[in-house]
């Protein structure tokens, strides 16, 4: 299950992003963008995340996953559309100059940290 590796990486990045002067910082929420082409199953990632956050500053954190659809564009005729699987041929002109615009993201967009002492 590669979602576990991804969950661990998210936690590592989130922990590293906590300002050093916050002694009792807790991560409340991690916002994540996941492209449809990454083969990440959001349910699995949620599940792995819940297990992996135990005993970390993220133990109460919520993982918010935004799924990014696969968008492609033909650079010959400039038509753009949303696909459900990788596309290599333009659906309008049948050309082979199809570029992927989105769908491969696996990015943390923001991390919300609170200081429990504040």
Q: Which is closer to Zn ion, CB of 50 or CB of 94?
A: 94
- In this chain, which stretch among 8-16, 21-29, 51-59, 91-99 interacts with Zn ion, using CB under 5 A? 91-99
Please answer whether residues 46 and 40 qualify as being in contact, where contact means their C-beta atoms are separated by less than 8 angstroms.
Answer: no
C-beta separation of 71 from 103 below 8 A: yes
Is the CB of 92 or the CB of 99 nearer to Zn ion?
92
Does residue number 96 form part of the binding site for Zn ion (CB under 5 A)?
A: no
Output the CA–CA distances (angstroms, integers) from residue 25 to 29, 35, 55, 59, 93, in the order listed: 12, 30, 13, 11, 55
In the set 1, 59, 93, 101, which binds Zn ion (CB under 5 A)? 93
Q: How many whole angstroms separate alpha carbon 99 and alpha carbon 80?
A: 9
CB of 72 vs Zn ion, minimal distance in Å: 10
Question: Is 76 near Zn ion (CB under 5 A)?
Answer: yes
Mode of pairing for the β-strands spanning 70-74 and 62-68: unpaired
77 binds Zn ion (CB under 5 A): yes
Shortest distance, CB of residue 79 to Zn ion, whole angstroms? 5
Burial (CB count <10 Å: 0-12, 13-18, 19+), residue 108: middle
Binding site for Zn ion (CB under 5 A): 74, 76-77, 90, 92-93, 95
């Amino acid at each position: 299950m590669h979602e576990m590796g991804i969950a661990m990486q998210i936690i590592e990045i989130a922990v590293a992003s906590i300002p050093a002067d916050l002694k009792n910082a807790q991560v409340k929420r991690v916002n994540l963008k996941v492209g449809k082409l990454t083969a990440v199953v959001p349910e699995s990632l949620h599940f792995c995340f819940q297990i992996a956050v135990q005993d970390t500053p993220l133990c109460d954190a919520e993982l918010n996953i935004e799924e990014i659809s696969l968008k492609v564009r033909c650079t010959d005729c400039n038509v753009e559309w949303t696909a459900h699987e990788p596309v290599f041929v333009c659906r309008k002109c049948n050309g082979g100059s199809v570029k992927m615009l989105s769908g491969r993201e696996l990015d943390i967009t923001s991390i919300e940290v609170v200081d429990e002492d504040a």
